[in-house]
Amino acid sequence: MILESSDRLVECVPNISEGRDSAIINSVADAVKNTPGVKLLYVDSNKDANRTVFTFTGSPDSVLEGAFNLTRISTSLIDMREQNGVHVRNGAVDVCPFIPVNNVTMDECVKIAHRFAQMAGDKLGIPSYLYGNAANIKQRRKLSFLRRGGYEALQNKLNSELWAPDYGPDVFNDVVAKSGTIQVGARFFMVAYNIQLKTDSINDAKQIARKIRTSGFKKNKTPGMFKELMADGWYMDSYNCAQVTMNLTDYRVTGLHHVYEAVKKEARAKGFDVNGSELIGLIPLDAIVDAGRYYLKHNFKGELSSQIEDEKLIDIAVDNLGLSAIEPFKREKRIFEFLLGD
């Protein structure tokens, strides 16, 4: 896909609650690939989270069709009554956000989100909750609010008028027991980002997460260090360590370098260090370049950052954030704009 200035382009980043069964993951990927006008950019699976993130782009109508095709296949193959993993989840297609990329407004993505949610309800019998810019109810703007209690709480929620879905059935029938609910949103480009800790303590990871995230410590209503940041702590068997897992909901406000340096400081105060970090899915070019500029300024004082090319800034960011600690960071496969140029 070569991006032309006149192209109308939307990004969709559905997360499904399956990260272990390659046959299911491949079937879902094929459903996206076989949608006319859609380009599947990246598939990111994690066995511990039991979750896969798909990233694809296309015209508004094509992306809507691709999201529906993904949902139809996912909900036919995934049974939430048997699903488990460290990541909190509400449904087989757990989240489905639409993001404006080129010549498309946020308002248009809101309309796409509503159309998709209605299709999921009318054609598949799946309840949907709208979040982000698509939310009809103020409290539901935050995905964390909708995730409270996870799948296990859905039956009680659907029995409450306060939790009536925006679209789809409001009863916990056999279809909903299998599929769960879909959280459908319209939002800015979010960066999913995890930092490895040299400890196996979930408690320490959660304490650090509470200190840095926007919501802070909810029990005593102490705000966190950063705005536009969701964070939690968990243990990853496959990495043999705890992680601080984060969503940077606006990297222009809180960047990778901000949270990495803060987590490193908090970890050292507790007597251990960090061991690099990882991205989940894709990252915009300016987000990683901004991190490179930060480390250039702090580590190579005197050098003029305005004269440094993006390629060098990417290298600096990757090195300082430890983005190759788990596997080599391949910019041509992980930076959103580079994939659009294929």
Specify whether 159 is located in the same domain as 245: no
Specify whether 134 is located in the same domain as 241: no
Specify whether 180 is located in the same domain as 242: no
Identify whether 87 is a catalytic site residue. yes
For tokens 């140029």, what's the residue? 341
For tokens 């909190």, what's the residue? 88
CA distance 325 to 128: 37
Residue 217, pLDDT above cutoff 90: no
Specify whether 243 is located in the same domain as 222: yes
Specify whether 238 is located in the same domain as 284: yes
Residue 5 confidence (pLDDT): 55
Residue 1, pLDDT above cutoff 50: no
CA distance 53 to 60: 20
Residue 220, pLDDT above cutoff 90: no
Percent of the chain with pLDDT over 70: 96
Last residue of a domain, one of 136, 155, 186: 186
- pLDDT-derived band at 308 (thresholds 50, 70, 90) equals confident
Specify whether 39 is located in the same domain as 169: yes
Would residue 290 count as lying in a domain? yes
Region 240-257 average pLDDT: 97
Specify whether 149 is located in the same domain as 275: no
Q: Is the dihedral of CA 259, 261, 265, 268 positive or negative?
A: positive
Q: Is the dihedral of CA 124, 128, 131, 136 positive or negative?
A: positive
Q: What is the DSSP pairing of strand 15-16 with strand 51-58?
A: antiparallel
Residue 256, pLDDT above cutoff 80: yes
Residue 6 confidence (pLDDT): 63
CA distance 228 to 248: 6
Residue 52 confidence (pLDDT): 98
pTM of the complete model beyond 0.75:
yes
Specify whether 215 is located in the same domain as 250: yes
Distances from the Cα of 340 to the Cαs of 195, 236, 261, 301, in angstroms?
A: 27, 32, 30, 34
- pLDDT-derived band at 157 (thresholds 50, 70, 90) equals very high
Last residue of a domain, one of 134, 167, 186: 186
Would residue 4 count as lying in a domain? no
Residue 103, pLDDT above cutoff 60: yes
Q: Is the dihedral of CA 191, 23, 327, 305 positive or negative?
A: negative
Region 111-131 average pLDDT: 98
Q: Which residue has the higher pLDDT, 180 or 341?
A: 180
pLDDT in tens, 167-187: 999 999 999 999 999 999 999
Residue 218 confidence (pLDDT): 76
Specify whether 267 is located in the same domain as 290: yes
Three-state DSSP at 135 gives: coil
Would residue 54 count as lying in a domain? yes
Q: What is the CATH number of the domain that holds 258?
A: 3.30.70.670
Q: What is the CATH number of the domain that holds 131?
A: 3.30.990.10
Q: Is the dihedral of CA 218, 224, 227, 229 positive or negative?
A: negative
Q: Which residue has the higher pLDDT, 306 or 234?
A: 234
- Average pLDDT score over the chain: 94
CA distance 274 to 141: 32
Would residue 198 count as lying in a domain? yes
Would residue 3 count as lying in a domain? no
Would residue 148 count as lying in a domain? yes
Region 42-46 average pLDDT: 97
Would residue 1 count as lying in a domain? no
Would residue 86 count as lying in a domain? yes
Specify whether 182 is located in the same domain as 244: no
pLDDT in tens, 313-328: 999 999 999 999 999 9
Last residue of a domain, one of 140, 163, 186: 186
Range of the domain at 198: 191-340
Cβ neighbours of 123 (radius 10 Å)? 12
Specify whether 242 is located in the same domain as 177: no
Number of domains composing the chain: 2
Residue 3, pLDDT above cutoff 70: no
Specify whether 257 is located in the same domain as 295: yes
